[in-house]
Amino acid sequence: MDSCERCRKPTNVCVCDRCERVPCGVTVLVLQHPQEEDRVLGTVPLLEAVVGADRRVGLSWANLAAARGGPTEGRWAVVWPQQLPEGAPVPEAGQVLHLDRAGKPTDEKLEGIVLLDGSWSQAKALWWRNAWLLKLDRIVLSPKEASIYGRLRREPRPTYVSTLEAAADALVALGEPEETRGALRRAMRTMVQRARDAG
């Protein structure tokens, strides 16, 4: 089957024609497990197209600068739903919490966010192989709606969503306009619908 040269998805599920690039003041870095090969339903190409996310494929990096491929400034946070710091508040449905390294809520401005992409077991492997992630702030979210994937891709828990959906909620909570979330989710809905239509 032919693939799109840009997103590498099969042409019948490619949504490059529907991806609307929006400006984003927060840098999005995706660390992708090398065995994450879901070319049809993966959402990272949509993040790259809509908000200019940077993708790094591998298992471990020495630090954030190594993962970024250069020096970083400012504060960064990792979007990670598990292993909350001791004493940290648990988010309610629809809530996004920005916690500092001590697990205290903060509204400090962030330069960027890090997302871990792969199956949940692969994401856990990335988490445990990169101890420097513990030095970052934490973004914890509790989505108010189920994943757009629906029955196409089962999640371990109802509150778990795709990399794109997590990024969309986190970015709006960090001050990006609601239009950013809308553009990301529209692209994903189109991809999922085309995947269903393609059988």
198 lies in some domain = no
Please state the φ and ψ torsions of residue 82, each to the nearest 5 degrees. Answer: -110, 170
99 lies in some domain = no
**pLDDT single digits (tens) 167-197:** 999 999 999 999 999 999 999 999 999 999 8
Distance CA 170, CA 97 (A): 9
Domain that holds residue 27: 21-81+107-137+163-184
Give the sign of the dihedral formed by CA 13, CA 26, CA 130, CA 185: negative
27 lies in some domain = yes
pTM of the model: 0.91
The H-or-E segment that residue 170 falls in is helix 163-173
180 lies in some domain = yes
- The confidence band for 127, taking pLDDT boundaries of 50, 70 and 90, is very high
14 lies in some domain = no
88 lies in some domain = no
Stretch 161-165: mean pLDDT? 92
